[in-house]
Structure 1
């Protein structure tokens, strides 16, 4: 198979354009060489939008292609060019940006294969833009008239038979009908650098964006995907943060698996080393805060699970202090992704003697107004207490207070240090 046919096949699968991918590729390739300077000129437009490193990663010779999203494409190329490209390719202005985010890296990688930097449109791309768009077959009366007459004849025979035969009982619906998809889904597995994606999203644009991000992160040849499109389901709230996450080194971990359904995620890091399990879990918890996550590996959760029967206040506090919770930005609202940690903490507290008290202490970094930090630390501590009470812990067994930025455990002059200082701590007695 030629490089052009390979490209057509890859774009067709990644975007869902099918036979129209040939024309789409031709329009995109022609657009590249209409830029002043051709390929260098196009890369320059991305550089002006502070996206030059991403665009350069698409050229042959770069070890891996980085993903781009539709918003970044719009920023680099502008609405006028996108409008024109949408019209010429026949895909329309609404979907052109996400489709370009998927296809443009593949087109540039093919054009520059072997280190080539052609100054004009290569001959093997020249005829693609003139490929006619896929059309429906013209209407022909005879194609449906004969089947219609046959159906009418059968209906007449059936009517005659009902005059002499008893009407049969209505058929019972079969139990093996396919379940209706009611929410966006995604199944992910990474085995030896080969990524398999399965699921359903609401639009072609969502599909294109997801596959483009996966191709950029893992390489097109390393991604196998079976992503359906169902306009009847809601948009995936987790899609944009997940696409950004795919570029993180932690998500290259061999053996990582996860399943998303609606706003619930099941994470499987059991095949990963312990430190990597914690890093991946923390990444999901911080980036997908609006998703309920099962399967998080947290050193604190592991410590809570490993508490030995008869554990005392010291052991309980030590385990609780290894857990991590996250809140919405500048808010006392616990993220949904922290609720499984609250679950485990409540179970551990309920397993301790009823006379044991647990104090919850909120801490912040030193950024901003001290009075506001003090108030936020109090509110966050109280939010944790309230969440534990909802899980069955008696309110009389808990106390909550905030200390603002007064008790740092790390250097507030660095982001890493500030992140460590923003925490919930526990004391048990």
Structure 2
């Protein structure tokens, strides 16, 4: 990659425009100010446990570039170094970590294009930050210039006294303009095995990594990626988990869209059994995301309940639903919120005398007393979530049964999964 291409890429990815040239120069000078040059810079990442991330940026690597979060980069470089880079490049301190997370991987890739790790600043970078020093004028020159400058100053003062118009205030540098943080976005559509993705992510590394993961599953010729990079974009905490799910996205007609930490899942073009399968995959794999559009027997049964449902019909529908918890905890995942919304609506619309017992169950792994406590806490978490959604407390009771009422074989993973559940019964 030529230095012009690098600066152009950083300018586009960061929105710095003409300021990108100086910014790249300042960052490059910082990198090669480390003992040993680029190798010394890499040592900082290895000391922080991020050596693999750094190595993925080296030119010639077949694996996709891994992303680095702005706060991770700040911890690697240190607050003082980050502030110095901000000061030298004329960029606001709040913006600089995000800009660095975008630019540093690109710079590392560019300077290792020859397959080596330079120990000193490549010549092409030397002039980017205005590094050349202007020599001091000789004393003789100053003796000649001083009277001339004095005359100019007197003339300027006289002109000012005759002209009341004031020059307009100097415009602030573009890089120092306050930037409003925006949510990450990502949309996906599979049409006959050809996928189209659009959206905005915080770093070039995240963009490159996601594109590489998609191309690895669907083939490069079948991926149309229109991803933008904006350092002012907030982190996308779901991105790494989403990449794990890519092999499950091969269903023709699958669509979804992220906006911040919310996901709209569209499986309407799929067969019912495929819709349910993909919904379960997304609900369990993206527990940190609020999901709209999940499809399973439970959501359909709850939606089909007429107002004034009796206890038997209500609990039958509730028992077709699935809610998830963080592993080993009684914390409901955000992906279960849509299910809980439907459940609360159905319970509130049921007959006034209907009461529901919420029971928590675990598998047999671990300590029995711990499992009993966890089952009680999970049942109570569901009850509290429903009450929060407007269900009268008098209609709900929470109980835990530990591993005492298994539905599956605890010697198999499938059986243990069936035993970890929330059940509902009429009272």
Same fold by TM-score, threshold 0.5 exceeded? yes
State the partner residue of 2:77.
Answer: 77
Q: CA deviation at 1:372?
A: 6.3
State the partner residue of 2:68.
Answer: 68
State the partner residue of 1:301.
Answer: 299
Q: CA deviation at 1:65?
A: 0.9
Q: Is the 8 A contact 1:65 1:217 kept in 2?
A: no
Q: Is the 8 A contact 2:186 2:198 kept in 1?
A: yes
RMSD over aligned Cα atoms: 4.9
Q: Is the 8 A contact 1:350 1:393 kept in 2?
A: yes
Instruction: Say whether residues 1:20 and 2:19 are aligned partners.
Output: yes
2 CA distance for matches of 1:228 and 1:334? 31
Within a 5 Å distance, the mapping from 1:150-165 to structure 2 comes to none
Determine helix, strand or coil for the equivalent of 2:78: helix
2 CA distance for matches of 1:3 and 1:307? 64
State the partner residue of 1:404.
Answer: 402
Cα shift readout 1:204-248 (whole Å, capped 9, x = no counterpart): xxx7x456533443369945327596xxxxx96xx4524554554
Residue number among 195, 198, 209 corresponding to 2:197 in the alignment:
195
Instruction: Say whether residues 1:287 and 2:313 are aligned partners.
Output: no
1:116–1:131 Cα change, 3 Å: same
2 CA distance for matches of 1:15 and 1:414? 50
2 CA distance for matches of 1:25 and 1:63? 25
Determine helix, strand or coil for the equivalent of 2:198: strand
2 CA distance for matches of 1:287 and 1:123? 46
TM-score (norm 1): 0.64
State the partner residue of 2:137.
Answer: none
State the partner residue of 1:10.
Answer: 9
Cα shift readout 1:354-407 (whole Å, capped 9, x = no counterpart): 887643212356788865654453343234235446667676665431123545
Within a 5 Å distance, the mapping from 1:268-283 to structure 2 comes to 268-270=265-267, 274=275, 275-283=277-285
State the partner residue of 1:130.
Answer: 130
State the partner residue of 1:172.
Answer: none
State the partner residue of 1:29.
Answer: 28
State the partner residue of 2:340.
Answer: 342
State the partner residue of 1:101.
Answer: 101
Gaps of 5+ in 2: 133-159, 169-179, 214-223
Cα shift readout 1:74-100 (whole Å, capped 9, x = no counterpart): 333333433433333333554433222
Residue number among 211, 221, 232 corresponding to 1:218 in the alignment:
211
TM-score (norm 2): 0.65
Q: CA deviation at 1:121?
A: 3.2
Cα shift readout 1:41-64 (whole Å, capped 9, x = no counterpart): 333332222112111111222331
Q: Structure 1 residues 119-128 or 345-354, which shifts more?
A: 345-354
2 CA distance for matches of 1:373 and 1:51? 36
Q: Is the 8 A contact 1:58 1:66 kept in 2?
A: yes
Larger radius of gyration: 2
1:110–1:194 Cα change, 3 Å: farther
1 CA distance for matches of 2:415 and 2:204? 36
Q: Is the 8 A contact 1:379 1:402 kept in 2?
A: yes
Q: Structure 1 residues 322-331 or 65-74, which shifts more?
A: 322-331
Determine helix, strand or coil for the equivalent of 2:18: helix
